[in-house]
Amino acid sequence: MSQAVATHDTHEEHGEHPTCTGIPNKKMFMWAFLASDCMFFGCLIATHMVYRISPPPGSPDLQGILDIEIVSISTFLLLMSSLMMALSVHAIGKNNLKSFRRCILATVGMGMGFLLIQSYEWYHFVHEYDLTLTSSLFGSTFYTLTGTHKIHVIIGIIWLMTYYFYSFSGKMDHKSELDVEVAGLYWHFVDIVWIVIFTVVFLLEFVDM
Amino acid sequence: MFSSSSTTRKIAWLTGLPLLLLLLSGCSGYDPMAWLRDAPQSTFDAKGPVAEQQLQLFYVTLWVTAFIFVTVGSVLAYATFRFRQRPGDADKPPPAQTHGHPIVEISLIAAAVLLLVIIAVPTVRAIYDIYELPDDEDMLVIDVTAYQWWWAFEYPEEGVTTANEIAIPVGRKVKFNLRTFDVIHSFWVPKLGGKIDMIPNRDNWLWLQADEPGQFWGQCAEFCGESHANMKFRVFAYEEDQFQEWLEHQRSDAVDPEEELAVEGKERFQGRGCLACHTIQGHDAMGLAGPDLTHFGSRVTLGAGMVENTEENLVRWLRDPDGFKPGNLMALDQNVQNLTDEDIAALTAYLKSLQ
Amino acid sequence: MPMQNEGSSAKVITEERESKPVGLARAFKRPTATTGLVGWLTTVDHKKIGIMYGVAALFFLIVGGIEALLIRMQLAVPNSELISAQLYNELFTMHGTTMIFLAVMPLGAAFFNYIIPLQIGARDVAFPRLNAFSLWTFLAGGIFINTGWILNMLPAIDKAVPKIGWFGYANLTSAEFSGIGTDFWVFGLQILGIASIVAALNFIVTIINMRAPGMTMMRVPLFSWMVLVTSFLIILAFPAITIALACLMMDRLFGTGFYEPVFGGQPILWQHLFWIFGHPEVYILILPAMGIVSEALPTFSRKPLFGYAIIVFSGVIIGVLGFAVWAHHMFTTGLSTIAKTAFALATMAIAVPTGVKIFNWIGTIWGGQIRFTTPMIFALGFIWMFMIGGFSGIMHAAAPADGQQHDTYFVVAHFHYVLIGGSLFALFTGMYYWIPKVSGKMFSEKLGKWVFWTMFAGFNITFFPQHFLGLGGMPRRTYQYDADMGLNTWNMVSTIGAFILGIGILLFFYHLVMMLRKGAPSGNDPWDGRTLEWSISSPPPEYNFAAVPMVTSRDEYWARKMIPEKKKLIENEKPEKSIHMPSPSWFPMIVSIGILIGAYGMAFLKSGYSFVGLGTLFWPIVGLLIITAGIYGWAFEGPGGYHLHPEEEEGSGGYRKKEPSDKSK
């Protein structure tokens, strides 16, 4: 009895009762949330740009501080993690738990790598250049913006690791594809935002306008 | 009030309150809106070109919207009355289920756009007239700095510094450079023109002109903390020669007190540390945290335009600054809190002597 | 809420509770009660959540109303000493914040919750537990932001009530110029923002995805349409204030310089971010109101909405343009002439879709059979008052004229015409229109008209003179005005009006209580309604629709009543034998409590007050742990579910008797 109902519940989650649009509720929720998240990052990036376009006195010389090479490596890692994320969704859809776990671990690993490199950069800024949250407005906007992004990455890692551990409970199969896919949407979004941040905060500093 | 100036008549019309119109016709000659024009901060009593243009623009918006209101309102009122359910209607079949009428709707949209253009054109013109700095060599420049909750005024070219009350020449454009010392304030002299905010790290300015001599009230119009309501000032418009006299007087050092009590007050002004915050030019007081008091005795108001500058009010102010003007810095000062009645009497005599 | 055995269309409902808790959720036994206190606290039923939203909003309406009356009492006479400057500043700050975020928005949310699933033929919202979370988080925010009033009574802490205005302009909000009250305001608004965004996401998915079969977007009732637009406005506008507040929090707690002039920060940045949120917020308050009126007018004219498509599109256009006009709140900040021109013209452009709505409402009643019921006269009153508020809005759009009007009582008059005469009157329309559906009770029309006319008179006596006060030179947010300013008479009139308005609202509460206690049964369809919510019993059964309706036209229920062929449709709709319902849950509330605890910890983080050990990172971490645990419990608990079995009898739903639940499960 309870078995039957459990199946029923899972089915409902997976769109056995189709929605009007054919898009599952969870997915549409995530899309709408990402639209909202775009505005969050949009406002933060705009704030950063406002203070970069007319920098207040005492702003550090960024061309001497920013290290494009190392940030490029972390960006590359994050982008590759998106690939692994897509593969995890594919794996769970095929009911291939072993591959799913490997791909999730790779995604999380690259995410961690990104965080490590970014934290190293923060450490470097603080100790080499005395650039802190309160040392200048660039510090305020830079750490707030990249910090907000880091929190997003950390939440993503926790989310994916939850799936990783949950996959050992025997309750995950191809029917979990939607859940993993929704997490994947979030993960890809966090990557895309990073590309914008990388361009605006790092690359644009080297464009002479 | 038996005024029949065109402004007044317009004001009476614009209310759109049938009741008031009834009153107007009822007791002929009585002008129910006189209070509005007579109010010292009335925007209906424009005394300069900026305020005048803003007032005229307001009338344009008023007439256009009043026209729409009357037209649409009549249709709405008619429909409400005409199509009310009458006894027996409930048993009849429901009315025709019409869903819309494209031609009616499109023409109404077109009409709305057209009416808005009537407002938009003078709006854009006024924006460029008022918010572009006119090219005028004769322009007087006054630097205004707002503090919580008073005003410092400086005439950079004339070398005059004063506080809370200023003079401007009639018929000359005046450029006010608007700065703030602490939080956001807003500089507003309703009879001369609309307000502009004073925002930290932002160089704002405003130009105004008075067309006739007079005393104009000003007030801070952006919420700026506890005593925001008590942050006022006065603008005196003088004819050119009188204005030059005023400048001359303001440039001069403070007069030396003669009366015994006032002399005593001068000493106590220094002994009680008042000079740490206030400037009295020529009397060795050069503090900058509070208003310049060099010619305090000649001012009409006290406490940044709050009350009349009488001896009684001054005593009240010195005795309990916080009760008089909540939150102000002077109330926090130990020396002020410890002032004795003798101190206050002497200081009052001294300050009033600073003509 | 009394449950009414209306028509007893369904007889017996058996109930099975099956879902077994898994994982972490074992620690928390899944609640099964659907009545009693636990039933309300753990409910995921959109109707109960809607009722709780409504009750809380009406409570805060009283709180904000008392604050307003205190303000008006102070301003009745010049140089009044009744209220100190500090208390006055606290009062107008909390009045604005309360009315916008805790009264009008949640009163709208009450209707979103209760009515939308009924209107679109759904059994619940897309995410029932998330819906409960929005409610509890909103309540947490309301409690949190009002904490200061209680803390102010403690000797150790003062200035705990924000006194920075509902707009909180930087840099008056910096640590230098304001105390812990500002921290309460910052975190309170953040909590309310979370509640609003989550609720809006839920309603977007619900309205787009959960419509009954056959209900195309252009058949969606107008109220639901406007809520969809509003929800999009919420998810796109609230991030701006969230970021603005986050930057302010960084400034206040961690010493950054976003708005600090000494750092080279620009306080004006706050204004831009705030109004990018703040102007859409105005439409967040008014669009649902327009939706409600667009439901009531057709019903009481017995005609379809005139120009449905144009009203829908003008709603969408208002929403889009709403993001392009924020700087008209900043005409006096020294914008460039080009920016002034652009924003002035964009603001005027918004008048067009707004005017279109008014034309179409008149078109709706034109040729109808107008019944002057209480909701109808509130709706008509709305049109009149909203027109006046709209016209003074156009006056503000003329930027140079706004130079005189800005920050005076003219603006106060303007937005109270929009928010009371507009939003609140429409919300009263909604209450009178739908409460018979919610409670199953009918009110007395006579008293209803008294309520309307008292409110209408009081409102106009209060706010019409404020137009003149403003143009007569009375700035806003001033706790005293001088006796020589020529403003004495009309301030007194305005105060008298405010008390009349207060009496009108009191009368409404009396009316509400009388209706709930003694009202006659309202029946399923007291108004000869047009939309689906009137096709089911009052109050609706837990599962809303025994048979999910097949929608064939815009005003589906009206069509079924009027068109014989469509009546046959109903016969084809057989009630489902077994309806799956989501189980109640504790976790939404647990997460909200975690947020509340964390917010208290954050507010006391740097304030210098040591309050029961709150001055450390301890409490924010406790809050975070509770939130995390709550989310995990939530996730592993799953939606769960049980089945209800309505008995036959078409269309209308049933009434359910509580059966002792099977404890062995």
* Cα distance between the two ends of chain C: 29
> Which of C346, C347, C253 lies closest to C606 in space, CA to CA?
C253
- pTM recorded for the entire structure: 0.91
Tally Cβ neighbours within 10 Å of residue A122: 17
Kindly state the percentage of chain C with pLDDT values over 70: 90
Nearest residue to C282 (alpha-carbon basis) of C225, C219, C230: C230
* The pLDDT of residue C24 is above 60: no
How distant is the alpha carbon of residue C262 from its chain centre?
A: 39
For C545, C575, C576, the CA distances from C649, given in Å and listed in that order, are 12, 7, 10
3-state secondary structure string across C509-572? HHHHHHHHHHCCECCCCCCCCCCHHHHCCCCCCCCCCCCCCCCCCCCHHHHHHHCHHHHHHHHH
Residue of A nearest to C212 (CA): A20
Task: For residue C374, give the H/E element and its range.
Answer: helix C374-397
In this prediction, residue C38 carries a pLDDT of 85
pLDDT band at C657 (very low <50, low <70, confident <90, very high): very low
Give the residue from A29, B61, B248, A150 showing the smallest Cα distance to C128: A29
Average pLDDT value for residue range C123-129: 92
Rounded mean pLDDT of B304-318? Answer: 93
| Cβ proximity of C500 and C463 under 8 Å | no
User: Measured in whole angstroms, how far is the alpha carbon of residue B277 from the centre of its chain?
Assistant: 27
Residue C176 has pLDDT above 80, yes or no: yes
Domain assignment present for residue A132? The answer is yes
Res. C211: pLDDT tops 90: yes
- How far apart CA B285 and CA B270 sit, in angstroms, is 8
In angstroms, the Cα distances linking B26 to B13, B17, B29, B33, B124 are 15, 14, 9, 14, 40
pLDDT tops 70 at residue B15: no
What end-to-end distance do the CA atoms of chain A give, in Å? Answer: 70
Closest CA to C387 of A121, B68, B97: B68
Give the SS3 label for residue C662: coil
Contact criterion met (CB < 8 Å) for B65 and C395: yes
**Helices C128-145 & C587-603, crossing angle to 10 degrees?**
30
- CA-based nearest distance C496→chain B, Å: 18
Question: Which residues sit opposite C45 in a β-bridge?
Answer: none
User: Residue A77 — pLDDT band, cuts 50, 70, 90?
Assistant: very high
**What is the model's pLDDT at position A108?**
97
Closest chain C C-alpha to A12 CA, distance in angstroms: 10
Task: Retrieve residue B173's tokens.
Answer: 């454009």
Mutation target among C18, C44, C190, C634 for the A interface, most CBs of A within 10 A: C18
What local confidence, expressed as pLDDT, does residue C659 receive? 37
pLDDT, tens digit, for every residue of A118-158? 999 999 999 988 899 988 899 999 999 999 999 999 999 99
The 8-class DSSP code of residue C23 comes to G
pLDDT of residue C580: 85
pLDDT in tens, C503-559: 999 999 999 999 999 999 998 999 999 999 999 998 999 899 988 888 988 998 998
Residue C648's contacts (CB-CB under 8 Å, 6 or more residues apart) are C10, C574, C575
Q: Select the residue of A20, A23, A58 nearest C264 (Cβ to Cβ).
A: A58
- Whole-number CA gyration radius for chain B: 27
Which of B19-28, B342-351, C171-180, C623-632 bottoms out in mean pLDDT, i.e. has the lowest? B19-28
- Please give the residue of chain C at the shortest CA–CA distance from B132: C337
* CB spacing of C340 vs B127 below 8 angstroms: yes
Model pLDDT, residue A115: 96
How many domains would you assign to chain A? 1
Asked if the model's pLDDT at residue B319 lies above 80, the reply is yes
Rounded mean pLDDT of chain A?
88
Phi and psi for C13 in degrees, rounded to 5?
Answer: -125, 120
pLDDT in tens, C424-463: 999 999 999 999 999 999 999 999 999 999 999 999 999 9
**From 3.30.1370.60, 1.10.40.60, 1.10.287.90, 1.10.220.70, which CATH number describes the B6-130 domain?**
1.10.287.90
Q: What pLDDT was estimated at residue C160?
A: 84
**Range B65-82 burial, b when 16+ CB lie within 10 A, else e:** bbebbeebbeebeebbee
Q: Which CATH class is domain B260-353?
A: mainly beta
- End-to-end Cα spacing for chain B: 37
Rounded to 5 degrees, what are φ and ψ at C220? -70, 130
Q: What is the pLDDT of residue C291?
A: 96
**Residue B329 in tokens:** 């810095």
The answer to whether the CB atoms of C238 and A33 lie below 8 A apart is no
Q: What percent of chain C has pLDDT over 90?
A: 74
For the B140-246 domain, the top CATH level (class) is: mainly beta
pLDDT interval class at B17 (50, 70, 90): low
The answer, yes or no, to whether residue C103 has pLDDT greater than 70, is: yes
Residue C175 touches chain A, beta carbons under 8 Å: no
Residue C665 at interface with chain A, using a CB cutoff of 8 Å: yes
Whether C304 and C208 have beta carbons less than 8 Å apart is answered as no
Q: What torsion do the CA atoms of C285, C291, C293, C294 make, to the nearest 10 degrees?
A: 160
Lowest mean pLDDT among A188-202, B4-18, B214-228, C125-139: B4-18
pLDDT value of residue C53: 96
In three-state secondary structure terms, C499 is helix
Q: Where are the beta strands (DSSP E) in chain B?
A: 140-147, 150-155, 160-163, 165-169, 174-180, 185-189, 193-198, 204-208, 214-219, 232-238, 279-280, 285-286, 301-302, 307-308
Question: In this structure, is residue A187 part of a structural domain?
Answer: yes
In C, which residues are within 8 Å of B58 by CB distance?
395, 398, 401, 404-405, 471
**What digits encode the pLDDT tens for the residues C584-618?**
999 999 999 999 999 998 888 876 555 555 556 78
Helical axes C222-254 vs C308-321, angle rounded to 10°: 10
Question: B183 to chain C: which residues are within 8 Å by CB?
Answer: 169, 171-172, 177, 267
Q: Which residues contact B163 (CB under 8 A, 6 or more apart)?
A: B150, B151, B152, B153, B291, B292, B293, B304
pLDDT greater than 90 at residue C31: no
- Residue C494: name the closest of C470, C454, C455, C465 by CA: C465
Predicted confidence band of residue B21 (pLDDT cuts 50, 70, 90): low
Average pLDDT over residues B261-289: 90
Indicate the pLDDT class of residue C372, thresholds 50, 70 and 90: very high
Record: contact B224-C172, CB cut-off 8 A: yes
Q: Which residue has 């839920």 as its token pair? A: C202
d(CA C538, CA C521): 9
Q: What is the mean pLDDT of chain C?
A: 88
Using an 8 Å CB-CB cutoff, list chain C residues near A148: 246
Length of chain A: 209
Q: Hey, which residues 237-256 in chain C have their CB within 8 Å of chain A?
A: 237-240, 242-244, 246-247, 250, 254-256
Instruction: Measure the CA–CA gap between C382 and C387, rounded to whole angstroms.
Output: 8
Whether A33 sits inside 8 A of C201 (CB atoms) is: yes
- pLDDT at residue number C611: 54
C-alpha to C-alpha distance for A24 and A42, rounded to whole angstroms: 27
CATH number at residue A197: 1.20.120.80
Write phi, then psi, for B180 (nearest 5 degrees): -130, 150
Lowest mean pLDDT among B74-88, B295-309, C15-29, C337-351: C15-29
User: Who's near C589: CB < 8 A, 6+ residues apart?
Assistant: C41, C42, C132, C133, C136
> Residues near B135 by Cβ (< 8 Å), separated by ≥ 6?
none
- Dist. CA B10–CA C587, nearest whole Å: 64
Asked if B202 lies within 8 A of C365 by C-beta distance, the reply is no
The pLDDT confidence band at residue C66, using thresholds 50, 70 and 90, is very high
Partners of residue C473 in chain B, C-beta under 8 Å: 39-43, 190, 217, 219
Distance from A39 to chain C by nearest Cα, in Å? 6
Q: Which of A19, A39, A141 sits opposite C239 (nearest CB)?
A: A39
CB contact B43 to C (< 8 Å): yes
Residue of chain A whose alpha carbon sits nearest to that of C240: A43
| Helix residue ranges per DSSP H, C221-323 | 222-254, 267-301, 308-321
pLDDT, tens digit, 9 for 90 and up, residues B143-177? 999 999 999 999 999 999 999 999 999 999 999 99
Residues of B in contact with C387 (CB under 8 A): 69, 72-73
Q: What is the pLDDT of residue A22?
A: 85
Domain for residue A12, yes or no? no
Contact C186, C249 (CB under 8 A): yes
Cβ atoms within 10 Å of C286's Cβ, excluding its own? 25
* B104 residue type, one letter: V
d(CA C287, CA C423): 8
Predicted confidence (pLDDT) per residue in C184-209, tens digit: 999 999 999 999 999 999 999 999 99
Q: Domain range holding A72?
A: 24-54+63-206
Cβ under 8 Å to A: C residues 111-170: 126-127
Please give, rounded to a whole number of angstroms, the shortest distance from the CA of C373 to a CA of chain B. Answer: 11
A interface residues, C as partner, C-beta within 8 Å: 1-2, 5-6, 8-9, 12-13, 19-21, 23, 25, 28-29, 32-33, 35-37, 39-40, 42-44, 47, 50-51, 55-59, 133-134, 136-137, 139-141, 144, 148, 162, 169, 171
Q: What distance lies between CA B160 and its chain's CA centroid? A: 22
| DSSP state for residue C156 in the 8-state scheme | T
Tokens of A160: 């994916």
**Contacting residues of C for A140, CB less than 8 Å apart:** 250, 256-258, 263
- Beta bridge partner(s), residue B152: B145, B163
Quick check: do B6-130 and B260-353 share a fold? no
Interchain contact, B202 vs C334, CB within 8 Å: yes
Residue B77 dihedral angles phi and psi, to the nearest 5°: -65, -45
Region label for C256, one of left (φ > 0), alpha (ψ between -120 and 50) or beta (otherwise): beta
Q: Which residue is closest to B177 within chain C, CA to CA? A: C334
Residues of chain B with C-beta less than 8 angstroms from the C-beta of C267 = 183-184, 199-201
Mutate to test the interface with C, among A2, A27, A29, A151 (most CBs of C within 10 A): A29
Q: How far is C211 from chain A (nearest CA, A)?
A: 6
Is residue C136 predicted with pLDDT exceeding 90?
Answer: yes
A3 lies in some domain: no
Q: Is C3 exposed, middle or buried (0-12, 13-18, 19+ CB in 10 A)?
A: middle
Q: According to the model, what pLDDT value does residue B151 have?
A: 96
C577 touches chain A (CB under 8 A): no
Radius of gyration of chain C measured on its C-alpha atoms: 25
| Residue contacts between B and C (CB atoms, under 8 Å) | 298
Q: Is C204 on the interface with A (CB under 8 A)?
A: yes
Domain coordinates in residue numbering, chain B:
6-130, 140-246, 260-353
| Cα angle, residue C81 at apex, residues C79 and C84 outer, rounded to 5° | 110
pLDDT-based confidence at residue C157 (cuts at 50, 70, 90): low
CA of C304 vs chain B CAs: smallest distance (Å)? 6
Give C244-280 pLDDT, tens digit per residue: 999 999 999 999 999 999 989 999 999 999 999 999 9
Question: Does residue B60 sit at the C interface (CB-CB below 8 Å)?
Answer: yes
